[in-house]
Amino acid sequence: MRLEPIAAPTPARLLGLPLAALALTLAIGAALAALAGANPLAVFGLILKGAAGSRFALLETLNRATPLIFTGLAVAVAFRARLWNIGAEAQLYAGALTTVLLGTGAVAAPAPLLLPLLALTAFAAGAVLLLGPAFLKVRFGVDEVVTTLLLNFIMLLFVSMLLEGPLKDPLSLGWPQSPALVPDARLPRLVSGLRLHWGFALALAAALVTWAIMARTTLGFEMRAVGENPAAAAFAGMPVPRVLLRTAILSGGLAGLAGFSEVAGLKGNLTLDLSPGFGYTGIIVAMLAMLHPLGVVVAGVFVAGVFVGADSMSRAAGVPSYIADILVATALLTMVAALKLTRFRIRSG
């Protein structure tokens, strides 16, 4: 068995295989629901209702999608240039940490000035955290998969040390958390009385800007060229190391904005459980979006809807909410296989 490249995939192949991947994912989910003793159609209906069946549910889905859009964009940008950023989780916490360090009273400024400052410093913190592994890659050939993955654990341990020490809120009654942000450092709500905040609008703007960079600028062209064939890009005169470092700045910065959004828009302070794995889930979002910045928005909302809907479904139907993790993971695996088969056909012999 071997894979043979397809010079010009047909539209039917480009559309049909991803749809088949989605159908297979739903079939596996239905089988699991049946094994749990529930009606698969009822389970899917409850997931859909829990994710978008009411104004509250829909806004909660968009709220959950906000950090996933940021981390999905971070991964999509890096992977497009073949910079394998597995450290969006660490970059998210770096952005959250700088938001807390500056937003708890260290900087006295009104909200119109303070919020952009916090966003910029969060972006810079995430960018710096990825620049290290990127520099090691271009200068010494160190595998960035290893370095970015290990930085996740290093950053979490560093944040844990701070929350148990100098950054611990003395009024937290022993719970490891930072002091709360000052009111001017909080992102306003998009809808009064509900949790959706302006971080979602910032995520949409980030997706548009990222798409413009990727599709309409020289840097975007160079990133795509380096991702397709670094040797050919270098032969054409492109500064491959510089392109990778610039990619790291953009990718790490976007993940840092996820930390800013979660702290300033939702939590109000920093805790060790700020992220339940948004950085890792961002990889799934980016792959489902086929690394397209605008597709990341759709994929982020889809993945968030599955998780939010599964929580609601679990309470109503008694089916474990872990079915959401299986559905998302299965969607990723089948979509990756489908995308591979859009460009290659299987030949025997």
**Residue 196 falls within a domain, yes or no?**
yes
Query: How many residues would you count in the chain?
Result: 349
> CA-to-CA distance for 100 and 268, rounded, in angstroms?
9
A 10 A CB-CB count for 219 gives 16
**Closest to 281 (Cα-Cα) out of 93, 70, 134:** 70
Give me the number of domains the chain comprises: 1
Residues 6+ away with beta carbon under 8 Å from 163: 176, 177, 178, 270, 271, 272
**Residue 211 falls within a domain, yes or no?**
yes
**Residue 280 falls within a domain, yes or no?**
yes
**Residue 345 falls within a domain, yes or no?**
no
Phi, psi values for residue 271, rounded to 5°: -130, 165
**Residue 229 falls within a domain, yes or no?**
yes
Q: Output the six-digit token pair for 153.
A: 């654990």
> CA-to-CA distance for 110 and 114, rounded, in angstroms?
6
Cβ proximity of 173 and 40 under 8 Å: no
What's the confidence (pLDDT) of residue 14? Answer: 83
> Which domain covers residue 309, as residue numbers?
37-319
What's the confidence (pLDDT) of residue 349? Answer: 62
Specify the 3-state DSSP secondary structure of 7: coil
**Residue 19 falls within a domain, yes or no?**
no
**Residue 65 falls within a domain, yes or no?**
yes
Q: Provide the residue-wise pLDDT of the chain in tens; the chain has 349 residues.
A: 788 888 788 888 888 888 898 899 999 999 999 998 889 999 999 999 999 999 999 999 999 999 999 999 999 999 999 999 999 999 999 999 999 999 998 888 888 999 999 999 999 999 999 999 999 999 999 999 999 999 999 999 999 999 999 999 988 877 899 999 999 999 999 988 889 999 999 999 999 999 999 999 999 999 999 999 999 999 999 999 999 999 999 999 999 999 999 999 999 999 999 999 999 999 999 988 989 999 999 999 999 999 999 998 988 888 888 888 898 889 888 988 888 888 888 887 6
A 10 A CB-CB count for 310 gives 26
Buried b (16+ CB within 10 A) or exposed e, 11-20: eebeeebbee
**Residue 29 falls within a domain, yes or no?**
no
CATH of the domain at 162: 1.10.3470
